[in-house]
Amino acid sequence: MEYIQLRNADLTVSRFCMGGCPMGGYDWGDTKEEDFIDAIHTALDLGVNFFDTADTYGLGQSEKTLSKGLNGNRHDVVIQTKFGVRAQKGQNTVIDNTPVYIQKALEDSLRRLNTDYIDIYVVHYWDQKTPPAVIVEELEKQKQAGKIRYYGLSNARPEVLALYKPFQGQFVTSQHEFSLCCRKWEAEIRQTVDAMDVTPLTWGSLGQGMLSGKYDENSKFSENDRRRREVYTNFHGEKLKHNLRIVEELRKVAASHDKSCSATAVRFILDLFPNGIPIVGIKNAKQLRDITTAQDWHLTWQEMTRLNRVSHADKNVTPTEMPWLKEF
pLDDT digits (tens, 9 = 90+) for 127-169: 999 999 999 999 999 999 999 999 999 998 888 888 999 999 9
For residues 214 and 328, what is the distance between their CA atoms, to the nearest angstrom? 29
pLDDT band at 324 (very low <50, low <70, confident <90, very high): very low
List, for residues 94-134, the tens digit of each pLDDT value. Answer: 899 999 999 999 999 999 999 999 999 999 999 999 999 99
Residue in 57, 125, 150, 164 annotated catalytic: 57
What percent of the chain lies above the pLDDT cut of 90? 71
- C-beta of residue 151 within 8 angstroms of C-beta of residue 120: yes
Identify the pLDDT of residue 110.
98
CA nearest neighbour of 276 among 176, 169, 181: 176
Identify the pLDDT of residue 214.
86
Residues 225, 230, 235, 236, CA torsion sign: positive
What is the mean predicted confidence (pLDDT) over 183-193?
91
Q: What is the pTM of this model?
A: 0.90
Residues 18, 22, 25, 30, CA torsion sign: negative
- C-beta of residue 74 within 8 angstroms of C-beta of residue 33: no
What is the mean predicted confidence (pLDDT) over 46-52?
97
pLDDT band at 235 (very low <50, low <70, confident <90, very high): confident
Distance of CA 6 to the CA centre of its chain: 15
Identify the pLDDT of residue 318.
44
What is the mean predicted confidence (pLDDT) over 275-298?
95
Residues 124, 55, 211, 202, CA torsion sign: positive
What is the mean predicted confidence (pLDDT) over 49-70?
94
Q: In the CATH scheme, what architecture does the domain 3-231+259-298 have?
A: Alpha-Beta Barrel (3.20)
What is the mean predicted confidence (pLDDT) over 59-87?
93
CA nearest neighbour of 120 among 83, 150, 142: 150
- Per-residue pLDDT at 321 exceeds 60: no
Identify the pLDDT of residue 166.
93
DSSP letters, 259-317, are --HHHHHHHHHHHHSTT-EEEEE--SHHHHHHHGGGSS----HHHHHHHHHHH-SS---
For residues 201 and 270, what is the distance between their CA atoms, to the nearest angstrom? 10
pLDDT band at 319 (very low <50, low <70, confident <90, very high): very low
Identify the pLDDT of residue 169.
93
- Per-residue pLDDT at 322 exceeds 80: no
Length of the chain as a residue count:
328
57 flagged as catalytic: yes
Better-predicted residue by pLDDT, 91 or 200: 200
For residues 327 and 254, what is the distance between their CA atoms, to the nearest angstrom? 18
Q: Within a 13 Å sphere around the CA of 292, how many CA atoms are in the beta-carbon half? A: 25
Identify the pLDDT of residue 90.
66
Give CA separation, 283 vs 38, 170, 226, in Å.
Answer: 10, 33, 15
CA nearest neighbour of 127 among 81, 171, 160: 160
